[in-house]
A and B are shown apart, each in its own frame.
Chain A
Amino acid sequence: MDFINQTVERSNVQLAKADFESDQMVKWCPGCGAHAILAAVERVFPKIGYRKENFCLVSGIGCSSRFPYYVNTYGIHGIHGRAAAIGTGVKISNPRLSVWIATGDGDSLAIGGNHFIHIIRRNVDVNILLFNNQIYGLTKGQYSPTTPMGKVTKTSPQGTIEHPFNIGELVMGAQGTFFARVPDNNINLMTEAMFEAAKHDGTSIIEILQNCIIYADKAHADIIGKEMKEENMLLLKNGEPMLFGKNKDKGLILKGTRLEVAEIGKNGITLDRILVHDQYDQDPGIQTMLAKLAPPHFPMVFGVIRSAMFPTYDDLVEEQIKYAKETSPIKNVDALLNSGDTWEIN
């Protein structure tokens, strides 16, 4: 088993999917991508191996945020946009919990944008499942911060006039230490990314391209749909060349300061010219460029794009407390009350 966070207590029995299934009726629309995300979580939690009482799910508001009710762990369903802030409090208060935040593109990038960038900047050790369906589902179809420009929605009858966020770029800009992108139609890829996120010490962002079957159906189909995925998806594997295409004969090369698509065998390109993925590289330069790639001129990149080691906020909190406890003469409140200038009146 790979290295998994040592501060979270492990289960001494083998857990199964059934240990995490809740008795609540799952009320997402039939065909919603969220069902697959739930299945992936129920599959990966037993595999991660922590005591089931040590998982804590946190969410904000939106379709995504009903998630905690559907998993049998500790869970708190918060208010719109604030899951990252609530989750920060949960993790700092008890670093021995494995904290998972379920959120959406509206919840985390619009109303909760501030908390989102700051939890990333601090590198609080939580895992964030960001359901990106490019639409507001629960409020029935308004555009979100990731809706492509020009898209017609209930609040943009002539098409949106806003530039969407690229989530990966936003994460890198906020000094993120972990970013993965996965499609909702590949449970294995989702499970792998979630496992990697659990392993990572720090804020892990998993962008899940999720389909909203009612208000933004097939929003991601041009990339992750059956016919398109060979040419439009590049699955990254650490230590391996960045290849894609039906015959795995296309790859990414660095030309000057930019990435380019090259075909092996054409223009003298050989396999050793193709960039090799290093998810652990602390310098986010190439990783940021990868996160931004999109059709038509590039494939979109999937898998773990960045997983760099940096100290976590919660570890530093514990370290400072430990140091203060060892060095401060004030060991209890009586000592505090009597510290400094005091005098006796008889």
Chain B
Amino acid sequence: MAQKKRNIIEKDNVVVKFVGDSGDGMQFSGSLFSESAALAGNDLATFPDFPSEIRAPQNTVAGVSGFQVHMGSEKIYTTGDLVDVLVAMNPASLKANLKWAKKGATIILDTDSFEEKSVEKAGYKENPLENNSLDNYNVIKAPITALTKESLKDLGIDNKVAERSKNMFSLGMLYYIFNRDLKGSFKNFEAKFKKNPQLIEINKLVLQSGYNYAETIEALESVIQVSPANMEKGRYRNITGNVATAWGLLAASEKSGRPLFLGSYPITPATEILMELSRHKSLGAKVFQAEDEIAGICSAIGASYTGSLGCTSTSGPGLSLKSEAIGLAVMTELPLVIVDVQRGGPSTGLPTKSEQSDLMQALYGRNGECPVIVIAASTSANCFYYAYEAAKLSMEHMTPCILLTDGYLGFGSSLFKIPKMAEMPAINPPIAKANEPDFKPYKRNAETLVRKWAIPGTEGLRHRIGGLEKENISGIVSSDPVNHQVMTDLRAEKVEKVAEFIPIQDIYGEPEGDLLVVSWGGTFGAVRSAVEEVQNQNKKVSHAHFHYIMPLPKNTGEILSKFKKILVCELNSGQFVQYLKMKHPASNYYQFNKVQGLPFMINELSEKFNQLLEEK
């Protein structure tokens, strides 16, 4: 196509958000747009923002669905706080999202959707296109619905069908604004609609029309250029946290030679792990959709006893239901991976929103003295590695491991540098050999205190285990008081000894100073961005982000002791800070907490850092 000469402005990073009614195809637009950014070499992170209702009433704020893309020529840590470019397909979506738009943001609107009824349904008193409420923004008013129909008039298709592809028109406009190539999306249509060639044609045509329209009206004075990021060489893909978690478990299964068994019950926002693993029977994954959360974990324990890598995936309410069974796995000293994709609580809480408020439940939410390993992923992509690590630690140390992720990591996506399986660390489960002389169920490795995994079907190892306390070594049922103390101590010590097998805690910035910012889990991106921002103002602040929580890395106390102030930032009321105070008592802990179902904003964090740096 003939290209006009364009003015180009460079940007280091841009946040784009597609919003519309649940049925408007915003998730599809968003994923195509992020694909185009990835193909252009940007680093990126995405987050889908959909209502908990499947189809809330049309054109209402409750029914707004969105997809946010943060892309950059620099390292992208978060899905972005405020939006540079907002595409709003109806009045309700504008109403729900305007508060997230930066002052001066570009807003693309489908003017056809702003008729009286929809405006009223969105809860506007007057049409926002007809007053001055959008004066602070760069608004591009386009009759997107009409233009979409117009661009398809030669195909002679039904108006309703034509209207459905209006999301591609606005996407085409964005492709012009960001100087993106359409070919990647064309290829995507060809694959996705292989069985319906007309849909390929429709989508291509509308996408191209949107692009041409934006060019014709010169939508922006300049096109925005986000140059390729400086990324490590290698093969990449985009991956959501839930898919990465599922794949990490598959990888650990393959590496360890232990077949994968997942017993789970659908629960937002963890269901995608169950769905994803169901698709990979070709890798031998046995996926059992149980009748409830308890059956999910109990079947996984049965599978684990039988020699499989037993896993269960859930969210907070499900973790509550699984508590008793986790105790059984602790008592029987069997491997078990429990993935908790945290959401807002308590009770049903905020199912589609994110929090870090299950930490104490993961650490202590069981009857009896019941220690388990607890680790947490920090990006969508590294859910792969921490799921792998959870499985490795659980099998090698014969104890359950809870992996904490959250709704933002699970639903969100980031770029994933594809590893090679040959380079993944070995996993060596302590499997007892057939006819092992003098086999005893609770005989332990002297160094790690780990018992052997004796798998049913193996000759010479018949034994019984269960939830009743067992005599050390022999495994015979025992209520002897001294033995119970011995076994309680052994179970705790076994988990503490895992600290010898995990990396020491790293620190970003100076190893000592006035302020150490501490975080864990899914807040990594926001906290690291804020730390960098404050460091760039030539202020001394360091950051320790924890992935290993139970046990803590060996050098934790030493790190904490080198700072005047320790600020622990978390999306709960202060659970990790309480835990740290207990493990490493000191009087210089400060905390920054938020429980709104929303991630940290970078500026609220940096403000807090500055405040603490200034206070004497």
Contact = CB atoms under 8 A, between A and B. Distances in A.
Contacts of A82: 294-295, 298, 325
B414 to A, nearest CB: 14
A75 B295 CA distance: 18
Interface size classification for chain A = 35 or more
Contacts of A93: 259, 261, 286, 302-303, 306-308, 310
A69 B290 contact: no
Contacts of B327: 79
A172 interface: no
B299 A336 contact: no
Contacts of B238: 341
Contact of A332 (B254, B308, B460, B462): B254
Interface string B456-467: 111111111111
Interface string A66-102: 0011001111111100101111111111101100000
A85 B465 CA distance: 16
A116 to B, nearest CB: 10
B99 interface: no
Interface stretch (B277-285, B342-350, B587-595): B277-285
B492 interface: no
A333 B467 contact: no
Contacts of B304: 89
Interface in A317-346: 317, 320-321, 323-325, 327-328, 330-334, 336-338, 340-346
A320 B281 contact: yes
A320 to B, nearest CB: 6
Interface in B288-338: 288, 290-292, 294-295, 298-308, 310, 324-325, 327-328, 332
A302 to B, nearest CB: 30
Contact of B282 (A24, A69, A330, A343): A330
B307 A78 contact: no
Given A78-B301, A79-B325, A90-B456, A343 B419 contact: no
A118 interface: yes
B457 A89 contact: no
A330 B303 CA distance: 24
Nearest to B43: A345
A78 B466 contact: yes
B235 A344 contact: yes
Given A78-B301, A89-B263, A90-B302, A342 B282 contact: no
B307 A330 contact: no
A92 B251 contact: no
B261 A24 contact: no
B360 interface: no
Contacts of A341: 35, 188, 237-238
B191 to A, nearest CB: 9
Contact of B459 (A53, A57, A317, A332): A53
B231 interface: yes
A270 interface: no
A56 interface: yes
A288 interface: no
A153 B291 CA distance: 32
A74 B291 contact: no
B250 A86 contact: no
B125 interface: no
A241 B353 CA distance: 64
Interface in A17-51: 22, 24, 51
Given A86-B298, A334-B420, A78 B467 contact: yes
A40 to B, nearest CB: 19
Contacts of A85: 263, 290-291, 294-295, 298-299, 302
A272 to B, nearest CB: 45
A54 interface: yes
B465 A86 contact: no
A68 B281 contact: no
Contacts of A61: 467
Contacts of B292: 114
Contacts of A118: 290-291, 295
Contacts of B233: 345-346
Interface in B463-484: 463-468, 476-477
B302 A342 contact: no
Given A53-B462, A74-B462, A97 B291 contact: no
A102 B366 CA distance: 26
Q: Which among B263, B286, B291, B307 has the highest number of chain A CB atoms within 10 Å? A: B291
A330 B281 CA distance: 10
Contacts of A333: 247, 250-251, 254, 283, 421
Nearest to B238: A341
A259 to B, nearest CB: 33
B432 interface: no
Contacts of B328: 78-79
A52 B334 CA distance: 23
Nearest to B296: A85
B511 interface: no
B284 A58 contact: no
B452 to A, nearest CB: 14
Contacts of A86: 298-299, 301-302, 305
A115 interface: yes
B463 A74 contact: yes
A103 to B, nearest CB: 13
B300 A89 contact: yes
B321 to A, nearest CB: 11
B462 A52 contact: yes
Contacts of B305: 76, 86, 89-90
Given A53-B462, A344-B234, A114 B254 contact: no
A255 B91 CA distance: 70
The 8 closest A-B pairs by CB, nearest first: A77-B466, A89-B302, A89-B299, A328-B282, A85-B298, A93-B303, A324-B281, A74-B456
Interface of A: 22, 24, 51-54, 56-59, 61, 68-69, 72-79, 82, 84-94, 96-97, 114-115, 118, 317, 320-321, 323-325, 327-328, 330-334, 336-338, 340-346
Given A53-B461, A89-B300, 4 more contacts: A52-B462, A79-B328, A92-B261, A97-B456
